[in-house]
Amino acid sequence: MSRPGGSAWLQRVVPVLVLVGLMWLSELLDLLTPLRLDGYGIRPRDPDGLVGVVLSPFLHLGLGHLVANTSGLLVLGALLAWTTRHLWLVTAGVVLLGGLGVWLLGGPNTVVIGASGVVYGYAAFLAVYGFAARRLAPAMAGLFVVLVYGGLLWGVLPLREGVSWQGHLFGALAGVGLALWLGRQDRTARRA
């Protein structure tokens, strides 16, 4: 598959722009109204906390948290849109699979919010997809991600209080699983 040109690439990057726009909108609502949206994050093993699987990427602990996730999503999302046509599927898969992992195995009595699980999922997908699909350009993009974002690896370990390492870990695992699955599918489709 060839790399998308101008308008095709812009169409592919829409899911990231929508995600980032909704993140900023929800944070503005949280700051300017008494809604307290952050309570709708993932509450592990609480049936009422399942809604957080879908909502948590849109909720942040403040502007610093939001800016950090925005920059990672924009860079990695743009790179993902350039390397594969699966951005919608990868985004939905990382949100749902990563979020369910946190809901099932996250820390008790916690509320997990933020899009860092998606950032980790995108980074892990990019690192693996090109090799799984056996395509040079995505593999080179994956090497770039490993070199530039390799420090993210420490975020999947329980080293810092108040940071959802489980969100990072399950987002990354979802990204790897999706990269292996979609990479194999794309490789098989190219042979047919």
For residue range 103-127, list pLDDT tens digits in order: 999 999 999 999 999 999 999 999 9
Strand partners, 112: 42
Tell which residue, 143, 125, 135, 136, has the closest CA to residue 81: 125
**Residue pointed to by tokens 């993009």:** 141
Amino acid 156: pLDDT: 76
Angstrom distance (rounded) from CA 147 to CA 144: 5
Contact between residue 119 and residue 68 where contact means Cβ atoms under 8 Å apart? no
Which residues form the domain of 156?
6-191
Residue 17 has pLDDT above 50, yes or no: yes
Across the chain, how many H-helices and E-strands are there? 9, 0
What is the average per-residue pLDDT within 126-150?
91
> Residue 77 falls within a domain, yes or no?
yes
* Nearby residues of 34 by Cβ (< 8 Å), 6 or more positions away: none
Reported residue count of the chain is 192
> Residue 98 falls within a domain, yes or no?
yes
* Domains contained in the chain, number: 1
Look up the pTM and report it: 0.92
Residue 2 has pLDDT above 60, yes or no: no
Angstrom distance (rounded) from CA 110 to CA 132: 36
> Residue 1 falls within a domain, yes or no?
no
Say what percent of the chain tops pLDDT 90: 73
> Residue 93 falls within a domain, yes or no?
yes
Q: CATH number of the domain at 157, please.
A: 1.20.1540.10
